[in-house]
Structure 1
């Protein structure tokens, strides 16, 4: 049974959430203070973290930063009123997903199940390999069926973003938030243009799929990384 660590100062939340999650095969343990939560996480045995933004001692963003410096355990952040700024900051710090308060427990369970299915522990500099495609983050090179592919900086960053989490759907806003630091001129409509150029350069591979009204995802099958 996956063990979930809840870091939230609402002492009334943990017990009923644990009772609900056990119906879906998850066990929830609560820590009401960040120091307690980090100590429990460092002791090991947890498969994911539910992390509130509003906490005593330090806010959830600082806790998320600490967790990411020490672990790749999946983190779902709870954000007040679903504030866009909170969501963006949390994702930039390495959170895997977010959920606005108040939340429906069933939605939280669904999000936990999703992040737990994602592959973990791939080093940032690891060569990424897929059916017909190889990406070297260090050399910033791409090979399509053994042939080098010339990409612009933004095209490479977009491909790398999709390849680090194959199958995950990235919205245009996700892509903008992740890549704007690499291309200050990137804007929402430009995302579609960059995707279109990248898709053509990777042909005949059907590497990038479009999900209508949702976003983009890498559709190639991952191979063991080198």
Structure 2
């Protein structure tokens, strides 16, 4: 039985028109014991993704034929396959649009291939655990929405109401990167007194309380975008 499990390698499709970069990504994925296919054009990508039984798609933003945003949009209409967007554009709007369309993570060129592999492993862990019951994103953290109580390793986290709402919004969607404005809509839909930059202050307080209670920091800052809850 263990021998059979070892043979099942994650299947990755790299959609990237820069040949040299695609070859580097391919080599690193192979070294990480993943099976890799490559497309250098956007037009056939959607059909290949939907028919290919892939575990992860590494999708460039700028592609000939059909760009990465359109591909992501079409794929998300019928598939929840894990997607990492890759872009040479640094404008925040492009990052946010990609994430709002359903990408699981993003990397901005140039990036380290080792970082790509690390991100890929994290996204694959999340997607493989997606069938578990909601709220089970971390065995260390428990959220009780009826009593407005959060516990870490069984110890009470003394969160304010707004800190609890923000942590709960991130916790229920592990690994998904959210902008500050998206977190406002998720955590405080009726609260007009909360502004984008207030999110940073609440996140800082939540991190401090989690670290002081359990020496742990599951909240990841994504430069230029926002935050995500990454329990692993």
Regarding TM over 0.5, the answer is yes
TMscore range, shorter length: 0.5 to 0.7
- TM-score under structure 2 normalisation? 0.65
Provide the aligned C-alpha RMSD in A: 4.4
User: Partners of 1:72 and 1:41 in 2: how far apart?
Assistant: 11
Equivalent residue of 1:35, what SS? coil
* Residue of structure 1 aligned with 2:45, choices 37, 61, 67: 37
Which residue does 1:163 correspond to in 2? Answer: 172
Matched pairs, number? 208
User: Partners of 1:180 and 1:106 in 2: how far apart?
Assistant: 33
Shift of 1:158: 4.7
Which residue does 1:92 correspond to in 2? Answer: 100
Question: Quick one: structure 1 residues 161 and 54, their matched pair in 2 at CA, closer, same or farther if it must change by over 3 Å?
Answer: same
Which residue does 1:178 correspond to in 2? Answer: 182
Structure 2: gaps of 5 or more residues: 1-8, 152-159
* Residue of structure 1 aligned with 2:116, choices 108, 119, 123: 108
Which residue does 1:83 correspond to in 2? Answer: 91
Which residue does 1:188 correspond to in 2? Answer: 197
Shift of 1:35: 3.0
User: Partners of 1:161 and 1:190 in 2: how far apart?
Assistant: 12
Shift of 1:190: 4.3
Shift of 1:159: 0.9
Structure 1: gaps of 5 or more residues: 146-150, 201-205, 222-226
User: Partners of 1:76 and 1:213 in 2: how far apart?
Assistant: 16
The answer to whether the aligner puts 1:54 opposite 2:62 as a matched pair is yes
Shift of 1:95: 1.1
Question: Quick one: structure 1 residues 131 and 33, their matched pair in 2 at CA, closer, same or farther if it must change by over 3 Å?
Answer: same
Equivalent residue of 1:164, what SS? coil
Equivalent residue of 2:114, what SS? helix
